[in-house]
Structure 1
């Protein structure tokens, strides 16, 4: 079963594979920074070159799996399967298993420069900051990284959409620790997200409504001499435990957003692409206006504090070309900017809304959907 895929001179190939094999492939490809279609292509070539029959793979209970092979390879591979007298699905499964056996999981080397910091921000609400920050954090954890996902928005959508309780307004919280009012260790507030393939690698710092008061309190707080450092001082004790700290920011122009932008700055020990700002947008004009405000805020902060803050890229969310010229021309405009680049275009689909209703991570509720694949694409892009 094929369909033309001209941009990369590839064609779409659909097979039925068990969920465990699909998941192992996705995790290993993410760990090694390899695109899934390239991994499958390597496996197919290795399978065709292998001497003798390969061990059979259990493909019972398989579900649809789609990828792209170089044009012409599908037909050649299908003929090989016929000559070896095995079903096509079994041939694909054996090819993937061969690639997995030849490309083992890398040994994790702890970072010596502290966690990489990714903040997801835009001055407009409803552009998908929460969905994108959660999805990318999930994809990073799926790929073997230890990730802390921080709900920094007083509306606490991230916490609620993942099915966790907000922190009580009179209890310790991130905002209170930023103001020097928190009791105990911030580490004690973290919640492990154990679903799917995240076990032991993905943690949530839940939100609290007290963050609504953060801007006003930071303005008068004596806890930190430079207000912009408050978030960094609060999160610094956790950095040695994680490879990435991912922050879902509020649509704000105040001190709280300044603290997040400062936290994402390039440190002396880092390359500019290691930490920075990911900007979720929509394919419409109001997102562009909001980005102009964020751009000005970043420029002002970098000039005032003499720091570098990398704009890692745009994520165009909820894209639907059926909306016509407004959507398509706006997407073209985002792509034309060039620096920062468009990291991914996330289609308008039901799976993200269903995940929110289920109070479940997108990558466990719908691991094979287009939106999940887009999150993995973004994760690979920010990992570099």
Structure 2
């Protein structure tokens, strides 16, 4: 029996519940409770009560990677909840996840302002699979949920609706090397032609709307929801162009992409492997805007399980800290993706993975092995989720998207 103690926000006797909850549910719970002006502890208690009285068994949820979660319950509710978990043959973690998901389903947020989500996939160290993660995340967000294979869990049944919808997604190849464009069978925009760079630093000279420069990724499972803005050769000169730009350099990318936002639910940016002015503009674009719910926009950081990747991560975080201080903004690290992981590489790989996981915030969104399907998809210049939709790598991309929605 847990010791009874007074809740810090209630005059009634309550008991402390300490369990685990998947990060995506914990974030959704926090946001929804704030939207409805409901105490978090009351939301969890109501969810548990609804779960206990639910007439039908609820689908099992994916609780892999669940992290510590604590709240306060009315006296006696935790003991009753544990007995019900035993009767239903589910763990306390599974029962709590189902209860929270049920509360989210029964307590919709109603009308709220919709802002295009901006996910900046970045790491100044090359070779960490940044392009593969950016492409895979965008594909997973845009994918038709009805196209998912039988391997996909039924746990989405109680996840907030946005996680189950094929979103309108723009994938931006912001890296002058143009690997993303090439991997999807597109050529970079030649030097001197209108491109994203024109709209960033010479918008007055642009004659073609930026939306007209985007290209649909023509795969059935994405419908017409996934588009890409190809790379531009002029991007190699972007940093020097920004040094002479008369406007606010840090806002140049936002100025260019703002007219496109009404056409997309999410914009995913494959950033250059640098810490220059172009990266400053990308980080600023991913900041949390006024009225935007936590966890909507920010940085997704691919890393590897080795020491130099940790050093590069430290440099990126220092750059973020400088920008947030200089411009008084909030930039969220949405999560890390440990990419190309191979435990056969021994102690350095396994211990580095442990260190990434021990950070806690930002969380590790997925650990992706060094598998063949991504390389094969690049060879045939197709989207991974269309080329190998049932591969482990494809399912990991869906896992990342699910944790970010």
Same fold, judged at TM 0.5 (above) = yes
Q: How many Å separate the matches in 1 of 2:119 and 2:206? A: 24
> Residues 110, 219 of structure 1: CA spacing in aligned structure 2 closer, same or farther, 3 A cutoff?
farther
RMSD: 2.0
Q: How many Å separate the matches in 2 of 1:177 and 1:316? A: 34
Q: How many Å separate the matches in 1 of 2:256 and 2:368? A: 33
Deviations 1:52-100, CA, capped at 9 Å, x for gaps: xxxxxxxxxxxxxxxxxxxxx9xxxxxxxxxxxxxxxxxxxxxxxxxxx
Deviation at 1:206, TM superposition (A): 0.3
Q: Which residue of 2 aligns with 1:133?
A: 134
Residue 243 of structure 2 corresponds to residue 219 of structure 1: yes
The within-5 A match list for 1:267-282 is 267-282=289-304
Q: How many Å separate the matches in 2 of 1:379 and 1:118? A: 11
> Residues 254, 111 of structure 1: CA spacing in aligned structure 2 closer, same or farther, 3 A cutoff?
farther
Deviation at 1:42, TM superposition (A): 6.2
Q: Are the aligned partners of 1:134 and 1:149 in contact in 2 as well (CA < 8 Å)?
A: yes
Q: Which residue of 1 aligns with 2:212?
A: 188
2:331 match: secondary structure: coil
The within-5 A match list for 1:116-155 is 116-142=117-143, 143-155=165-177
The one of 236, 241, 252 aligned to 1:230: 252
Q: Are the aligned partners of 1:110 and 1:243 in contact in 2 as well (CA < 8 Å)?
A: no
Q: Which residue of 2 aligns with 1:171?
A: 193
Residue 225 of structure 2 corresponds to residue 201 of structure 1: yes
Q: Which residue of 1 aligns with 2:361?
A: 339
Q: How many Å separate the matches in 2 of 1:43 and 1:331? A: 31
Deviations 1:126-160, CA, capped at 9 Å, x for gaps: 00110000000000001410000000000000000
The within-5 A match list for 1:309-324 is 309-324=331-346
Q: Which residue of 1 aligns with 2:325?
A: 303
Q: Which residue of 1 aligns with 2:283?
A: 261
The one of 249, 254, 264 aligned to 1:242: 264
Q: How many Å separate the matches in 2 of 1:298 and 1:247? A: 16
Q: How many Å separate the matches in 1 of 2:267 and 2:311? A: 28
The within-5 A match list for 1:77-92 is none
Q: How many Å separate the matches in 1 of 2:171 and 2:258? A: 14
Q: How many Å separate the matches in 2 of 1:209 and 1:287? A: 27
Deviation at 1:311, TM superposition (A): 0.4
Q: Are the aligned partners of 1:178 and 1:231 in contact in 2 as well (CA < 8 Å)?
A: yes
Q: Are the aligned partners of 1:111 and 1:243 in contact in 2 as well (CA < 8 Å)?
A: no
Deviation at 1:111, TM superposition (A): 7.9
Moved more, 268-277 or 355-364: 268-277
> Which 5+ residue runs of structure 2 have no aligned equivalent?
1-19, 21-56, 61-88, 90-109, 144-164
What is the TM-score of this pair, normalised by structure 2?
0.67
Count how many residue pairs are aligned between Structure 1 and Structure 2. 280
Q: How many Å separate the matches in 2 of 1:241 and 1:148? A: 9
Q: How many Å separate the matches in 1 of 2:253 and 2:266? A: 15
Q: How many Å separate the matches in 2 of 1:141 and 1:185? A: 23
Q: Are the aligned partners of 2:115 and 2:292 in contact in 1 as well (CA < 8 Å)?
A: no
Moved more, 194-203 or 292-301: 194-203
Q: Are the aligned partners of 1:277 and 1:313 in contact in 2 as well (CA < 8 Å)?
A: yes
Q: Are the aligned partners of 1:230 and 1:259 in contact in 2 as well (CA < 8 Å)?
A: yes
Deviations 1:307-328, CA, capped at 9 Å, x for gaps: 0000011000001111111111
Q: How many Å separate the matches in 2 of 1:110 and 1:327? A: 46
Q: Are the aligned partners of 2:335 and 2:365 in contact in 1 as well (CA < 8 Å)?
A: yes
Q: Which residue of 2 aligns with 1:291?
A: 313
> Residues 160, 110 of structure 1: CA spacing in aligned structure 2 closer, same or farther, 3 A cutoff?
farther
The within-5 A match list for 1:350-369 is 350-369=372-391
Residue 273 of structure 2 corresponds to residue 251 of structure 1: yes
> Residues 279, 110 of structure 1: CA spacing in aligned structure 2 closer, same or farther, 3 A cutoff?
farther
